[in-house]
């Protein structure tokens, strides 16, 4: 299964650029720069620094929502919320990879039909990032995976202990955000997930 690393600098008590660098060294499937509160100028500065790091380390950076920034920096991977995806179909033409966040089976099917290359579906398990909102659960993830042919990456509360369920759903990978931003050691965190993935495959 593939790691899709999602950033949230507000959760990170460490130097954020240094954390991006450490994550990139682990060569995850993608690093999604999801700093939604930044204006275009601040996001561009952060994206440029992150892109330089990813190029040096051979990691793939994905721009979240800021299509103009992606085009200006020559980054051909973008990710959009479902509503933004619908309203910006013309602007994303020519992008190498377009991901879409979905929260219903209907959104998933529509996103695939309109050209999404992969989906992020959530939230699956309870998470502090969505306090007060009940998780959609593994059955929701299975419905999404069964309804589409493009890769699906679940997000929300996914710990190493969840990987057996995640793999059984047919998802191609999973997203990590909060643990990625808050852990003491990125290397040890990745190793815990990798060890769980190996154990799951043996089972």
Which pTM value belongs to this model?
0.95
At 198, is the pLDDT very low, low, confident or very high (cuts 50, 70, 90)? confident
Angle at the Cα of 26 (from 2 to 156), degrees rounded to 5?
Answer: 45
What residues have CB less than 8 Å from 169, skipping those under 6 apart?
138, 141, 142, 145, 154
Confidence at residue 57, expressed as pLDDT on a 0 to 100 scale:
98
At 133, is the pLDDT very low, low, confident or very high (cuts 50, 70, 90)? confident
Q: Is the pLDDT of residue 82 over 80?
A: yes
Worst-scoring range by mean pLDDT, 46-55, 149-158, 182-191, 194-203? 194-203
Q: Is the pLDDT of residue 203 over 90?
A: no
Q: Is the pLDDT of residue 200 over 80?
A: no
């Amino acid at each position: 299964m593939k790691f899709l690393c999602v950033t949230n600098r507000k959760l990170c008590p460490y130097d954020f650029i240094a954390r991006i660098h450490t994550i990139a060294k682990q060569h995850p499937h993608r690093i999604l720069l999801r700093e939604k509160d930044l204006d275009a100028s601040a996001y561009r500065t952060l994206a440029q620094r992150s892109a330089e790091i990813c190029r040096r380390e051979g990691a793939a950076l994905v721009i979240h929502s800021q299509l103009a920034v992606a085009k200006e920096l020559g980054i051909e991977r973008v990710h959009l919320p479902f509503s933004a995806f619908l309203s910006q179909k013309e602007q994303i033409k020519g992008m190498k990879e377009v991901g879409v966040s979905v929260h219903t089976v209907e959104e998933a099917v529509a996103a695939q039909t309109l050209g999404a290359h992969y989906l992020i579906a959530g939230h699956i398990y309870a998470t502090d990032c969505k306090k007060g909102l009940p998780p959609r659960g593994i059955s929701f993830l299975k419905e999404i995976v069964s309804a589409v042919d493009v890769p699906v990456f679940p997000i929300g509360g996914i710990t190493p202990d969840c990987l057996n369920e995640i793999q059984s759903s047919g998802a191609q990978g999973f997203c990590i955000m909060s643990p990625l931003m808050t852990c003491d050691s990125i290397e040890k965190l990745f190793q815990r997930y990798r060890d769980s993935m190996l154990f799951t495959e043996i089972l």
